[in-house]
């Protein structure tokens, strides 16, 4: 169990999730938010979520709800929240000016060994760390929503990030049961959104081109490809679907190139195609049912995460 201190800056959805994940592995966590009521609200929400997770058998780690909650504190001072922290996870609004301001404040309150990590989904680390004194200690650890059940974390360094900060972040992420992948350099969209947007583009073309309905195109993932991808990535799927990768490429290169050559340009995501997709999605899940459906999603992701953990233990 860890005795290191973690600072969390920003106590919205993602800040609360990180706090719970770190505490589940025994780290002491202090949460700061610019809005004091957000901190007290976050502590209340975390307590009730830990209780619900325990009741449903989904609580992470070996510590009791009380022990995990006791590891999480709130503070209305960034200085106090970050004092002595070895790792700080920033979770404020996704706005460049806010990230720049918060990073320039955070670097004043940590020592030479601390890592300053951002949850940013799309802003590249060089954009808000370039002019900092401690820029070599900064990187992004981008989680996937909901982080409590989807353990992937993309680590994205800026060109000036120390290799030791990257290596230590990977070790910390593994110690809390997350699954880190490290980008060797920053690229727009990082890895997750580049791959996700490639899928969105083709799904859009198939619906816009009248090949599949919106409901059916989603089933291609949820009842087909997604089931495999819950356990293996596309490269391993290829390796297993022939006598290894070389044999797969000998068999299928021509047909892959033929199909890829048939892809249209990047959709504009406007006009009648957009209207049709919005209409179909609103009919399938009306806007006043979104919260219900999110809970449905989280219950299923939790069960899948548990299944994967149980299978790995076998
Ligand atoms: P949120 O809007 O739920 O919470 C942001 C929190 O930051 C608020 O409590 C706000 O009061 C606080 N805040 C704003 N300015 C601040 C400042 N100067 N100092 C301290 N606290 C400040 O946002 P959410 O969804 O938790 O996102 C946080 C970060 O995580 C963003 O960078 C987002 O892109 C990233 N992220 C979000 C995901 C999601 O699905 N929501 C998934 C992965 C990453």
Q: What CATH number has the domain bearing residue 243?
A: 1.10.1040.10
Within-domain flag for 187 = no
CB of 11 within 6 A of ligand 1: the answer is yes
Within-domain flag for 66 = yes
Same-domain check for residues 127 and 222: no
Tell me which of 138, 153, 182 is where a domain ends. Answer: 182
CB of 90 within 6 A of ligand 1: the answer is no
Same-domain check for residues 166 and 199: no
Sheet holding 5-9, edge to edge: 72-75, 28-32, 5-9, 87-90, 115-118, 138-143, 152-157, 179-182
- pLDDT at 252 (0 to 100): 98
Same-domain check for residues 230 and 306: yes
Determine the straight-line distance between the first and last CA of the chain, rounded to whole angstroms.
23
Within-domain flag for 15 = yes
Tell me which of 118, 149, 182 is where a domain ends. Answer: 182
Q: CA 186 to CA 138: how far, in whole Å?
A: 13
- The boundaries of the domain holding residue 70 are 5-182
- pLDDT at 313 (0 to 100): 81
If the chain, 314 residues long, is cut into consecutive pieces of 10 residues, what is the mean pLDDT of each piece?
87 98 98 97 98 92 97 98 98 98 98 98 97 98 95 98 98 97 97 97 96 96 96 97 98 97 96 95 97 94 89 84
**Nearest residue CA, atom 42 of ligand 1?**
145
Cis amide prior to 146 (ω within 30 degrees): yes
Q: Which atom of ligand 1 is nearest to the CA of 42?
A: 9
Same-domain check for residues 262 and 132: no
Write out the H or E segment, with its range, that includes residue 310: helix 290-313
- Count of the separate structural domains present in the chain: 2
CATH number of the domain within which 16 lies? 3.40.50.720
Torsion of CA 257, 260, 262, 266, to 10 degrees: -150
Same-domain check for residues 204 and 168: no
Same-domain check for residues 299 and 175: no
Candidate of 8, 10, 146 to mutate for ligand 1, largest count of ligand atoms within 8 Å of Cβ: 10
- pLDDT at 2 (0 to 100): 63
Same-domain check for residues 16 and 164: yes
- pLDDT at 310 (0 to 100): 87
CB of 14 within 6 A of ligand 1: the answer is yes
CA distances from 309 to 149, 165, 226, 313, 314 (A): 11, 28, 18, 6, 9
Same-domain check for residues 82 and 148: yes
Tell me which of 135, 161, 182 is where a domain ends. Answer: 182
Token pair listed for 104: 């320039």
Candidate of 32, 80, 88, 93 to mutate for ligand 1, largest count of ligand atoms within 8 Å of Cβ: 93
């Amino acid at each position: 169990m860890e005795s290191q201190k973690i600072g969390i800056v920003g106590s919205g959805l993602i800040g609360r999730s990180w706090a719970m994940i770190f505490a589940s592995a025994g780290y002491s966590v202090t949460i700061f938010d610019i809005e004091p009521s957000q901190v007290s609200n976050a502590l209340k929400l975390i307590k009730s979520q830990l209780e619900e997770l325990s009741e449903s058998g989904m609580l992470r780690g070996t510590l009791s709800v009380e022990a995990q909650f006791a590891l999480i504190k709130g503070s209305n001072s960034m200085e106090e929240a970050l004092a002595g922290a070895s790792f700080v996870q920033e979770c404020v609004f996704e706005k460049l000016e806010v990230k720049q301001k918060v990073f320039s404040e955070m670097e004043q309150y940590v020592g030479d060994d601390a890592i300053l990590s951002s949850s940013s989904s799309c802003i590249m680390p060089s954009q808000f760390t370039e002019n900092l004194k401690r820029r070599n200690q900064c990187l992004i650890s981008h989680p996937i929503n909901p982080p409590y059940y989807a353990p992937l974390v993309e680590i994205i360094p800026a060109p000036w990030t120390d290799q030791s900060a990257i290596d230590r972040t990977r070790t910390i992420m593994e110690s809390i049961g997350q699954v880190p992948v490290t980008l060797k350099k920053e690229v727009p969209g990082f890895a997750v959104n580049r791959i996700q947007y490639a899928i969105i583009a083709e799904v859009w073309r198939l619906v816009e081109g009248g090949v599949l309905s919106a409901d059916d195109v989603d089933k291609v993932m949820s009842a087909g490809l997604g089931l495999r991808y819950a356990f293996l990535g596309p490269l391993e799927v290829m390796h297993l679907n022939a006598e290894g990768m070389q044999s797969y490429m000998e068999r299928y290169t021509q047909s892959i190139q033929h199909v890829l050559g048939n892809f249209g340009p990047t959709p504009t995501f406007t006009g009648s195609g957009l209207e049709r997709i919005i209409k179909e999605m609103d009919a399938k899940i009306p806007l006043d049912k979104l919260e219900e459906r999110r809970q449905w999603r989280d219950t299923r992701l939790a069960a899948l995460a548990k299944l994967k953990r149980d299978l790995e233990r076998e």
